């Protein structure tokens, strides 16, 4: 066929074929977002991050950000290792309250705060309730709607100190001695997805329990305890990894020399998690803990409860106690005016530790991303690097606070502030 024989009809046919081929190719591509352009959290320099098949394909330095991106920062998605509930959803309390849809709701709400990975935490309760809720969590953990945001679960208690103060808000009637067989059954109900246990090392049988957890590859946290220096050392010798929310789950009146704080701070083998919401620890406590452990051994956690993201007001918990959520985000027992939990997302703690310690944004973010990823061997996340999961948060700093603009989980945009949601 010569050129002059193609004609108008032929050109239309060729064009139609081209469009069909383009459409076919386009339909085979992934739903990866366009390249992310923002200031890299670690050095403040502009970068373009490309994503393919849910992973970071490339991170390239660029000269300038496009219009409208001024002040936009990109960081690894935040990892919260202690989430008791969120937005009215509790992972422990309530007869039949936890559902698969509830877990999905909590996850979606956490995404709005920049959290892309979190560990649902079940606290001290009856074996029946723990078994039931672990079963629900285990069944929904790998649901495609969650995009792999839940790597496993944290059992905080019931193997903790029964002593007032050290026990914290955990109900006394459910506190009990460590029982390996009970734990195995709980873990089985969870689909063998319990990746951390927090306990008191002074409880009868606790040290042997720690050894068994270590052999099974389960992270052991020391918390809600009054162990002396020798017991803390032996617990770490047997594999304890972290002091859970150091400075909390501790009695108000302690011996100034012999108490659980010093041995946990002084042993460089032990990481610490701290709640930096502005209520659980005073600024000077955060500064001291940070100076001792540094950015490499500190994890910022939220210990957030189901009251987070709810309007301020008074609530009655399953124990019949009246709780109050203040406009500032404090959860307290109004009668005693003492803390009853946390209602502040992880991003508040990241901003607050910068404010009170003067640490860099890079270090603050690292304590909420890189460090928990390392603790739980989550090798595919916690950093912005080629081949890692595309779990990213884009935010701006305003008046010392983190304003989340967009959250990306496993390469998918799950929250966009301009669009309100996805």
Q: What is the CATH number of the domain that holds 117?
A: 3.20.20.140
CA angle 138, 161, 269 (to 5 degrees): 75
Report pLDDT for 376: 98
Does residue 357 belong to any structural domain of this protein?
yes
Regarding whether 43 and 149 lie in a shared domain, the answer is no
Regarding whether 408 and 270 lie in a shared domain, the answer is no
Regarding whether 123 and 66 lie in a shared domain, the answer is no
Say how far apart CA 166 and CA 157 lie, in whole Å: 12
Does residue 388 belong to any structural domain of this protein?
no
Regarding whether 415 and 343 lie in a shared domain, the answer is no
Q: How many structural domains comprise the chain?
A: 2
Does residue 16 belong to any structural domain of this protein?
no
Residue 232 phi, psi dihedral angles, 5° rounding: -60, -45
Regarding whether 92 and 68 lie in a shared domain, the answer is no
Regarding whether 147 and 271 lie in a shared domain, the answer is yes
Q: Which domain holds residue 210?
A: 77-381
Regarding whether 65 and 136 lie in a shared domain, the answer is no
Minimal CA–CA distance to 37: which of 7, 77, 65, 3? 65
Regarding whether 62 and 104 lie in a shared domain, the answer is no
- From the candidates 303, 380, 399, 416, give the one annotated as an active-site residue: 303
Does residue 20 belong to any structural domain of this protein?
no
303 tagged catalytic = yes
Does residue 28 belong to any structural domain of this protein?
no
Regarding whether 104 and 248 lie in a shared domain, the answer is yes
Does residue 373 belong to any structural domain of this protein?
yes
Regarding whether 124 and 89 lie in a shared domain, the answer is yes
Q: Which residues contact 250 (CB under 8 A, 6 or more apart)?
A: 165, 166, 259, 260, 261
Regarding whether 222 and 101 lie in a shared domain, the answer is yes
Does residue 406 belong to any structural domain of this protein?
yes
Does residue 47 belong to any structural domain of this protein?
yes
Q: Which two tokens stand for residue 164?
A: 């007032």
Regarding whether 324 and 362 lie in a shared domain, the answer is yes
Report pLDDT for 286: 98
Instruction: pLDDT tens for the chain, 422 residues: list them.
Output: 333 343 434 433 433 334 343 333 333 334 677 899 999 999 999 999 999 999 999 999 999 999 888 899 999 999 999 999 999 999 997 555 899 999 999 999 999 999 999 999 999 999 999 999 999 999 999 999 999 999 999 999 999 999 999 999 899 999 999 999 999 999 999 999 999 999 999 999 999 999 999 999 999 999 999 999 999 999 999 999 999 999 999 988 999 999 999 999 999 999 999 999 999 999 999 999 999 999 999 999 999 999 999 999 998 877 788 889 999 888 988 877 778 889 999 999 999 999 999 999 999 999 999 999 999 999 999 999 999 999 999 999 999 999 999 999 999 999 999 986 56
């Amino acid at each position: 066929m010569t050129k002059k024989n193609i004609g108008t009809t032929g050109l239309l046919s060729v064009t139609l074929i081209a469009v069909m081929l383009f459409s076919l190719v386009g339909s085979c591509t992934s739903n990866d977002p366009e390249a992310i352009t923002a200031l890299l959290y670690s050095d403040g320099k502009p970068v373009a991050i490309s994503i393919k098949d849910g992973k970071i394909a490339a991170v390239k330095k660029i000269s300038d950000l496009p219009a409208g991106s001024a002040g936009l920062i990109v960081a690894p998605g935040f990892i919260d290792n202690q989430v008791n509930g969120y937005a009215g959803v509790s992972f422990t309390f309530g007869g039949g309250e936890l559902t698969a849809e509830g877990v999905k709701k909590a996850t979606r709400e956490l995404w709005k705060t920049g959290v892309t990975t979190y560990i649902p935490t079940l606290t001290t309760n009856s074996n029946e309730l723990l078994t039931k809720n672990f079963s629900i969590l285990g069944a929904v953990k790998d649901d495609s709607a969650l995009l792999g945001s839940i790597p496993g679960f944290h059992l905080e208690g019931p193997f903790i100190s029964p002593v007032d103060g050290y026990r914290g808000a955990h109900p006394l009637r459910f506190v009990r001695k460590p029982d390996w067989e009970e734990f195995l059954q709980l873990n089985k109900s969870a689909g063998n997805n319990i990746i951390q246990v927090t306990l008191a090392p002074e409880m009868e049988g606790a040290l042997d329990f720690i050894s068994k957890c270590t052999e099974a590859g389960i992270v052991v946290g020391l918390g809600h305890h009054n162990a002396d220096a020798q017991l803390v050392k032996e617990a770490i010798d047997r594999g304890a990894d972290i002091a859970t929310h150091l400075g909390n789950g501790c009695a108000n009146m302690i011996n100034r020399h012999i108490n659980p704080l010093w041995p946990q701070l002084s042993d460089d083998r032990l990481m610490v998690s701290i709640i930096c919401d502005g209520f659980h620890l005073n600024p000077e406590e955060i500064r001291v803990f940070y100076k001792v452990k540094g950015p490499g051994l500190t994890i910022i956690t939220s210990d957030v409860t189901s009251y987070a993201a709810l309007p301020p007001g008074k609530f009655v918990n399953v124990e019949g106690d009246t709780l109050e959520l203040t406009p500032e985000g404090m959860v307290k027992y109004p009668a005693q005016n003492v803390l009853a939990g946390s209602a502040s997302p992880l991003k508040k703690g990241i901003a607050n530790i910068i404010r009170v310690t003067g640490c860099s944004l890079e270090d603050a973010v690292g304590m909420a991303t890189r460090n928990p990823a390392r603790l739980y061997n989550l090798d595919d996340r916690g950093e912005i690097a080629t081949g890692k999961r595309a779990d990213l948060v884009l935010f701006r700093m305003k008046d010392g606070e983190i304003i989340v603009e967009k959250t990306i989980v496993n390469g998918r945009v799950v929250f966009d502030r301009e669009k309100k949601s996805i």
